[in-house]
């Protein structure tokens, strides 16, 4: 005979099982720390790629859930919307870069007001971070790093320099050039470059032809440095006209080892990805947070130290 009870019982059991499983997964999800990065740097950019690697490595090592978000173009309105959206999803910590204080202050304040701990990395600086209620600032003061680069060149007795900027209008690259001029103590013209390596190389050649008295070329990133090295090679000026760069790449490090480049300035941005993940994990578990800002750069990689970091650069850690 057909019995309803016979059918209902296993069905109930199944249902109970599902509910328990669901409860277990929510519990696990609630335990796992979730950190979200919202930055202005596309992960296609070699510099930000290293930040993301740091984040991924920390997440894997510590068993933390970490997400990386950035608008595809330098779009502050979009970045503000992203911060708002992530705030609404209540992560355990947010890591944000602030290249434009006017556009991003309000969403960052809103995130803080919603009770989400916030760490600012790369751009924004210490004062802004604390004004907005951020816990701490991690990064390299680009202007100050430029000043230190300028002072080193001044110490070599060089005065005629140019700043080869492959992305004029990007404020942190502009700061690097401006700081460099301050440190050197003389006017430094900015050469407008491009991402395209052939055009960049040929522009450096053209600039050097028209300004043959230039003694030092500062590149403000790997995309400018590699073509600059090629240009000096082609002009037969390799090693005669000195050059140095911000950021590292295997090619840059090899040039430093070979004496074709004075130094590469390492912002150690891997730490900007790795450490906030670890900090938020500690914060969530034990309410532990460092009390001071964390400057990651500038670290000058010179002939003595370059060889030891080439492999790390190939792996995207430096």
Partner 1 sequence: MVSEIRDERVRSVSRLSRLLSRPELGAAAGTVLVFVFFAITAGSSGLFSAKGIVNFLEVSAQLGILAAPVALLMIAGEFDLSVGSMIGFAGILIAIPAVFWGWPIWLSLLLTFAVCGGIGALNGLAVVRTGLPSFIVTLGSLFMLRGLTLGLTRGISGRTQVSGVHELALHDPLNSLFSGQVFSGLIAGLADIGLIGKRADGLPSISGIPVSIVWWIVLTLACTWLLTRSRFGNWIFAAGGEANAARNLGVPVARTKITLFVMTALAAALFAAIQVLVTGSADTLRGTQKEFEAIIAVVIGGTLLTGGYGSAVGAMFGALIFGVVQMGIFYTGIDTDWFKLFMGAMMVIAVLFNSYVRNRAMRSR
* Binding site residues, partner 1, CB under 8 A: 43-46, 49-50, 52-53, 168, 189-192, 195-199, 201-203, 205-207, 209-210, 222-223, 226-227, 230, 235-237, 240, 249-251, 314-316
Strand ranges across the sheet with 216-219: 190-192, 161-165, 216-219, 242-246, 264-266, 299-301
No. of helices (H) and no. of strands (E), the chain = 12, 12
Closer residue to partner 1, CB minimum distance, 43 or 105:
43
Minimum gap (Å) between residue 142 Cβ and partner 1:
19
Q: What is the largest CA-CA distance in the chain?
A: 104
Residues 263 and 300 sit within 8 Å (Cβ to Cβ)? yes
Closer residue to partner 1, CB minimum distance, 44 or 115:
44
Closer residue to partner 1, CB minimum distance, 142 or 167:
167
Minimum gap (Å) between residue 168 Cβ and partner 1:
7
Q: Which residues contact 255 (CB under 8 A, 6 or more apart)?
A: 229, 261
Minimum gap (Å) between residue 208 Cβ and partner 1:
9
1's tokens? 């005979």
Minimum gap (Å) between residue 267 Cβ and partner 1:
16
Minimum gap (Å) between residue 258 Cβ and partner 1:
13
Minimum gap (Å) between residue 198 Cβ and partner 1:
6
Report the C-alpha gap between 191 and 122 in whole angstroms: 24
Residues 84 and 104 sit within 8 Å (Cβ to Cβ)? no
Report the C-alpha gap between 297 and 271 in whole angstroms: 10
Minimum gap (Å) between residue 125 Cβ and partner 1:
25
| Residue for token pair 């502009």 | 174
Closer residue to partner 1, CB minimum distance, 151 or 233:
233
DSSP-assigned letter for residue 39: -
| Residue for token pair 């330098």 | 74
Residues 95 and 119 sit within 8 Å (Cβ to Cβ)? yes
Residues 37 and 55 sit within 8 Å (Cβ to Cβ)? yes
Name the residue among 77, 121, 133, 127 with its Cα closest to residue 102.
77
């Amino acid at each position: 005979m057909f019995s309803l009870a016979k059918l209902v019982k296993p069905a109930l059991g199944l249902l109970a099982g599902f509910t328990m499983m669901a409860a277990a997964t929510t519990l696990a999800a609630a335990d796992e720390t979730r950190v979200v990065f919202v930055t202005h740097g596309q992960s296609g950019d070699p510099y930000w790629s290293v930040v993301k690697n740091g984040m991924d490595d920390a997440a894997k090592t510590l068993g933390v859930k970490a997400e990386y978000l950035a608008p595809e173009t330098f779009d502050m309105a979009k970045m503000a919307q992203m911060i708002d959206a992530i705030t609404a999803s209540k992560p355990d910590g947010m890591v944000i870069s602030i290249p434009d204080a006017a556009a991003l202050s309000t969403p960052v304040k809103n995130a803080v007001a919603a009770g989400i701990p916030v760490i600012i990395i790369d751009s924004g600086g210490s004062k802004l971070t604390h004004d907005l209620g951020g816990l701490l600032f991690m990064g390299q003061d680009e202007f100050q790093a430029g000043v230190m680069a300028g002072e080193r060149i001044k110490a070599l007795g060089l005065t005629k320099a140019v700043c080869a900027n492959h992305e004029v209008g990007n404020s942190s690259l502009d700061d690097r050039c401006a700081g460099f001029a301050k440190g050197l103590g003389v006017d430094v013209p900015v050469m407008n470059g491009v991402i395209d390596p052939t055009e960049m190389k040929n522009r450096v050649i053209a600039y050097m032809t028209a300004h043959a008295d230039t003694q030092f070329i500062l590149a403000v990133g790997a995309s400018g440095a590699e073509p600059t090295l090629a240009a000096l090679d082609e002009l037969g000026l390799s090693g005669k006209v000195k050059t140095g760069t911000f950021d590292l790449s295997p090619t840059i490090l090899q040039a430093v080892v070979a004496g074709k480049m004075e130094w590469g300035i390492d912002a150690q941005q891997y730490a900007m990805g790795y450490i906030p993940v670890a900090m938020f994990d500690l914060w969530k578990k034990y309410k532990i947070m460092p009390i001071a800002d964390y400057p990651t750069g500038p670290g000058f990689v010179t002939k003595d130290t370059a060889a030891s970091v080439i492999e790390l650069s190939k792996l995207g850690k430096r």
